[in-house]
Amino acid sequence: MSTEPTGGAYIPATTQAPRMPGRPRHALPPQACDAHCHVFGPYDRFPLRQPSSYTAPDAPADRYLRMLDTLGAQRGVLVQPAPYGTDPAALLDALGQGSGRLRGVAVAGPDISDERLRALHDGGVRGLRFVEARDPAGRLFPGSVGFDQIAALAPRMKAHGLHAQLWAPCDVYARHLPALTRLGLPLVIDHLGSLVPSRGPLDPVFQQLRGLLADGAIWMKLTLCRVGTAPDYADARYLHDAFAAANPEQVLWGSDWPFVRMGDKAPAADALADLAWEWLGDDALRRKVWVDNPARLYGFQGPADA
């Protein structure tokens, strides 16, 4: 999506209002957390730092907080999107507006100072995101920091209480995870490992990810909309259920609102929450996925402010 440069930043020429949820049919448990969302804008205060390849959402913090309230989630985790590069201003502003109910995942390279890492943690950031998705010419998506930068950052990330969140095509994990799991750093895998459901349960990458999860070497986000086929996502259910069974202590749920790149095909977050409620099957597992696991990973403490 074309943008207009202004003072070294990018103001989107057009924006798209994200799909807002209705109230889920099933009430989420108290202190439930949506562990994967993004905020964008307001663009006059927080312009993009990279040209966006998709129509930029009109998704500032106040709209995001209304989305959480409608969903019935008292807590949320915001992940910095690639068009903001390593500029955390919009993320930190949103975390501040959350009054303790939000945590964040920022983007940074090895050149970041310890002072800045401390400031990120003080502002509510609990992880750094690394992306190993490349264009046909082999270039990382603009604004991304690749997996090859994690090892240099790992000691300081551990010292500052930050984990690594990873997003890549599924086959990329097979190449990188053996080395990454030796760093002693918590690793959170986005979007069901970007697996391809049609490959089936014998897919070696699926087997690898399930084994690492069972061993406690990784965490897994159960974000269906990037892997399964709408509207019922039945093709991805075996992935969801296998990961939840492999290690119910290290799986998380996220809606992925505002559903960038999905346009008119964006799902309703309430429908995704209802589907997860049904698939998880019992209140004990629901509480682990929505409450206990995110509280432990992201450091939520005490009652969340509504």
Catalytic amino acids?
Answer: 256
Q: Which pair of structure tokens corresponds to residue 99?
A: 């009054």
Instruction: Please answer whether residues 23 and 270 qualify as being in contact, where contact means their C-beta atoms are separated by less than 8 angstroms.
Output: yes
Q: What CA–CA distance (Å, rounded) separates 181 from 101?
A: 30
Q: What SS3 class is residue 154?
A: helix
Rounded to an integer, what distance in angstroms lies between the CA atom of residue 244 and that of residue 277?
Answer: 13
Q: SS3 for 283?
A: helix
Residue 288 to residue 268: CA distance in whole angstroms: 23
Give the DSSP letter string of 141-210.
PTT---GGGHHHHHHHHHHTT-EEEEE--HHHHHHHHHHHGGG---EEE-GGGG--GGG-TT-HHHHHHH
